[in-house]
Amino acid sequence: DWGEAPDVSFFVGRAHELATLSHWILQDNSRLVGLLGMGGIGKTTLAAKLVQQLQDNFEIVVWRSLRNAPSLETLLTQWMPLLSYQQDVRPRLDALLQHLRAHKCLLVLDNLETILHPQPLGSFRTGYEDYEQLLQMVGETPHQSCLIITSREKPEVLAIQEGAALAVRSLIVPGMETEATALMTAKGLAGSTADCQTLIATYGGNPLALKIAATSIQDLFDGN
């Protein structure tokens, strides 16, 4: 169930990040993985490409966006029938854990920052504290599944659990460098390699910012 996952038919770069994340999940059996970074840096697209590459290694794949800030009960009401082959509709964490143990599931929660408090950093908004219990349970309790989250901020519960030799990891998604030239070409820009690199550096390799800039260049300067 791909939910609101983006189309990644056009995807460039990120080979190192994809290799690292794949190793964490398939070889190191990470149970909870966070993709972190500023808005527009490409966390959601990277997650979608990663899941696309890994899906054959899992029995069940479910993608959900938290952009509209659903309650955990609403989320579990959607998840449970999918994870139990329509046999269980109980929106409870203990029931969820049973299915994460019984089936090899790959779950994604996109835009987690929607339910986080701006201050103090990493805490959950009032009414969403049970998501902290979800992340804690998934990270600390043995099972054969993996939950990937994307967020502009690192949840405190993730920071507490993560470690290089532990089953909880996080990756700060960097800006794109030379690969972003392909993005400029796809947007129809014409210019020297040096010009492209200057533009990429100016926007810190942020794909969304580059797309917006490229659109303006296309509209105002005929792509030059």
Strands lying side by side in the sheet with 146-151: 60-65, 105-110, 146-151, 32-36, 168-172
Please, are residues 213 and 199 in contact by the beta-carbon 8 Å criterion? Answer: yes
pLDDT tier at 56, thresholds 50, 70, 90: very high
Surface-to-core class of residue 200, CB atoms within 10 Å of its CB (0-12 exposed, 13-18 middle, 19+ buried): buried
Candidates 156, 154, 134; CA nearest to 143 is: 134
Report whether pLDDT(210) > 80: yes
User: Model confidence at 73, in pLDDT bands (50, 70, 90)?
Assistant: very high
Q: Phi, psi at residue 117, to the nearest 5°?
A: -80, 140
| pLDDT value of residue 98 | 92
Q: Cα torsion for 20, 79, 7, 158, to the nearest 10°? A: -30
Mean pLDDT of the chain: 91
> pLDDT tens-digit profile of 133-190?
999 999 999 999 999 999 999 999 999 999 988 999 999 999 887 777 887 888 788 7
Tell me what the mean pLDDT of segment 79-84 comes to.
91
